[in-house]
Amino acid sequence: MSAPRRILLCLLTACAALATTPAHAAVCVTPPAASTPPTPAPFSSPPSAPSAPTSCGGAGACTPDFTSAWVAQTNSGSKAWYGLASSADGSKLAAVQSGDYIYTSTDAGANWTAQTNSGSKNWRSIAMSSDGSKLIAGTTDDYIYLSTDGGVNWTAQTSAGTGNWQSVASSSDGSKLIAGSYLFSYIYTSTDGGANWTAQTAAGGRKWHAVAISADGSKMAAADQSSYVYTSTNSGASWTAHTNTGGPSWYGLASSADGTRLAAVGNNTNNTVYTSTDSGLNWTAQTNPNAGNRWYNVVSSADGTNLALLGTSSVYTSTDSGVHWTQQATLPGGGWYTGAFSSGSSKLAVAKNSGYVYTATGCP
């Protein structure tokens, strides 16, 4: 057989073999002739894995969306809730109402314990340290009370006297405290965890309806229902009245962890949602998301970008420091008095007056 015919026969045989080879079978191919390998590139580390999402507020954080995440914590009972506090991670909650005990939860609101050692009092306000171990609570006709064991036992702070303690706040470690009394009284502060209290007479005797504090306790803010928002940058030793905040009937006040971002709301039908990004020196009137709503309170995330408005008809949240608002339409209407964010803003708890405590996780 001639050489050309032998070559042709080999090619035909190879093609037939390929045609009958299963798709998953290996096919041997003669490797190409060896050649000089290319010069390797300089060593470089493999690209780092993307950072895992954290709770809202850190690198890789999500923007919280609470719209469809609300859970009615029916074990809290349907009560006339006035005050609510949260630990930094949102696992510990404490709530107060008038004419009953202080209630606490250690599982993010799933179960609640009536702290009978607190006594059945006209509780109005409550705050806690970031780890949830230290709590401060105020009544409308009695003393300020403190707990250092997560709410199990309580001690009356008689040195501050009795008052209508509408609002209380705590630094992250619970060492610095502030309380405001509504009966034309003073702001009271403590720098030793409540062992001693000082009446801040320089701020005057007013209708102190709301107070707030930075995480380190150096910056404080207080709202007089009848006049202005006042701020302090030295743990309450001296106060500045911000006359550009006059007019609204101030009811709620919130601060970021560093004290630079503030939010304040009034209990009237005017445009009374105000925010500040410079510790209260200047204020911006934000669009009122519901002109017919009277606001009872405002709460803030640690970085101040996430806010929640609580009022007579609904709860609204913002992820841009109050510029835009979203109604939490899945919550029942009416009588929202209080709420609290976890420090990273991924968890939000709100309490309805004559209703349950509701919780939501806005980040996966």
Domains of the chain: 80-361 (2.130.10.10)
Q: What are 327's two structure tokens?
A: 């109604």
- What is the DSSP secondary-structure string of 187-202? EEEESSTTSS-EEEGG
Q: Alpha-carbon distance 171 to 149, whole Å?
A: 16
Query: 199-241, pLDDT tens digit by residue?
Result: 999 999 999 999 999 999 999 999 999 999 999 999 999 999 9
Helix residue ranges, H only, the chain: 3-19
- List, for the chain, all residue ranges whose pLDDT scores fall below the cut of 70: 1-62, 269-271, 364
61 class by beta-carbon count within 10 Å (0-12 exposed, 13-18 middle, 19+ buried): middle
Q: What is the pLDDT of residue 213?
A: 98
Closest CA to 221 of 323, 300, 158, 143: 300
Could you tell me if 85 and 93 are in contact, meaning their C-beta atoms sit under 8 angstroms apart?
yes
Q: What is the pLDDT of residue 364?
A: 67
Length of the chain: 364
Q: Give Cα separations from 238 to 9, 47, 221 (angstroms).
A: 103, 52, 11
Q: Which distant-in-sequence residues (6+ apart) come within 8 Å of 93 by Cβ? A: 84, 85, 86, 87, 104, 105, 108, 109, 340, 349, 357, 359
Q: Are strands 177-181 and 165-170 parallel, antiparallel or unpaired?
A: antiparallel
Q: Give Cα separations from 236 to 138, 227, 267, 332 (angstroms).
A: 19, 19, 25, 39
Q: What is the pLDDT of residue 248?
A: 78
| Residue indicated by tokens 């939490």 | 328
Closest CA to 115 of 130, 132, 98, 100: 100
Q: What is the pLDDT of residue 271?
A: 56
Q: Which distant-in-sequence residues (6+ apart) come within 8 Å of 250 by Cβ? A: 209, 210, 223, 224, 225, 229, 264, 265, 266, 267
Could you tell me if 38 and 336 are in contact, meaning their C-beta atoms sit under 8 angstroms apart?
no
Q: Give Cα separations from 295 to 61, 105, 181, 249, 337 (angstroms).
A: 29, 26, 20, 10, 8
Q: What is the pLDDT of residue 267?
A: 82
How would you write 18-78 as a 3-class SS string?
HHCCCCCCCCCCCCCCCCCCCCCCCCCCCCCCCCCCCCCCCCCCCCCCCCCCCEEEHHHCC
Q: What are 348's two structure tokens?
A: 């939000």
Q: Give Cα separations from 6 to 12, 15, 176 (angstroms).
A: 10, 15, 98
Q: What are 22's two structure tokens?
A: 């299963």
178 class by beta-carbon count within 10 Å (0-12 exposed, 13-18 middle, 19+ buried): buried
CA angle 344, 347, 348 (to 5 degrees): 115
- Strand, helix or coil for residue 251: strand
Q: Alpha-carbon distance 17 to 169, whole Å?
A: 83
